[in-house]
Amino acid sequence: MFAVDKYQPILIYLASGVQGGAVVHAALQRGFKVRALVRDRTRAPALAALGVELAEGDLRDPASLRAASTGIAHAVLQIPIGSQEDMRIQAENAVSASLASGLTSIILKLASASRPAPCEEPSFVANAMIEEVARRSGLPFAIVRPTMYLDNLLKPSARADIVEHGIFAPPIAASQRIAWTSTDDCARAAVTLLERGVDTGDHRIAGPESVSGDELALRIGAGLGRDVIYRHQQLDEFERDVDAAMGSGTGRRVGSKFRFFAAHREEAEAILSGAFKPQPSLEDFQPTGIEEWVRQHRAEFCDGQA
């Protein structure tokens, strides 16, 4: 455990992105000073408007990370999804910069829940690799990991289907129960751990209830004030759509986790379905319900129309 000095800024990686931006807002709400790591300060006017300190840096440039970490005691670290080699290099650069600058601890935000034992699914391999980089360094760290993000509902294609057609169609069977969480809740959890001086532990962040696909659709519909139905999109179709939007081969990489869940239902249940339970240092953490989250984001669903 450590004492937190809120007058000393914390460093937030990937601050221009959805997840990093959520951490910035959560930290500011809790009274922290923030140093936001961005690749180009001229492309981060929203962060500048919040009054945070902007530090230009690139996870592939160790010198820039050391400069951004100067005078910092704590950081919230995320590694962008990419090839395993790129993710390994970036994780090693960030951790090395943290050690060289004398950081006291980091909160490591992973992109997804991990399988407890090793396997070949790429996202789980990447999670385990990043954890091992941090563990080998000896730097104190705590982990925050989500079940599955409600923010996926706001991706353009999903949002269009919901708003225009009343359909949510992810590549997940309707029978699969999921305790959906959000980037905002994971950010709040990360900042809460930081505020309480937590530098160990693996914290699974989930929603307050576990729902089937049809139950999820009912809650989305209640939040939006319209009927929404759930449709299971076949994985081949999903991967073709991702390839069309993001380039050939991307669909297979993105879809691999969903294929793993479909083939290993017991493990999917263990990773995804359990609702949030109070845990050490997050005993009083209150996750956001699905309908409440949708209401909070209603303007985004409706293109700015409340």
Task: Write down the pLDDT at residue 1.
Answer: 65
Task: Determine if residue 161 is left, alpha or beta; phi over 0 gives left, psi from -120 to 50 gives alpha, anything else beta.
Answer: alpha
Map out the domains of the chain with their CATH numbers: 10-148+181-207+274-288 (3.40.50.720)
Task: Write down the pLDDT at residue 254.
Answer: 84
Strands 74-77 and 10-12: parallel
| Helices 84-100, 62-69: inter-axial angle, 10-degree rounding | 40
Per-residue pLDDT of the chain (306 residues; tens, 9 = 90+): 677 788 899 999 999 999 999 999 999 999 999 999 999 999 999 999 999 999 999 999 999 999 999 999 999 999 998 888 999 999 999 999 999 999 999 999 998 877 666 678 888 888 999 999 999 999 999 999 999 999 999 999 999 999 999 999 999 999 999 999 999 999 999 999 999 999 999 999 999 999 999 999 999 999 999 999 999 999 999 999 888 988 898 888 889 999 999 999 999 999 999 999 999 999 999 999 999 999 999 999 987 444
CB under 8 Å to 287, separation ≥6 — which residues?
181, 185, 205, 206, 207, 208, 276
pTM, entire model = 0.94
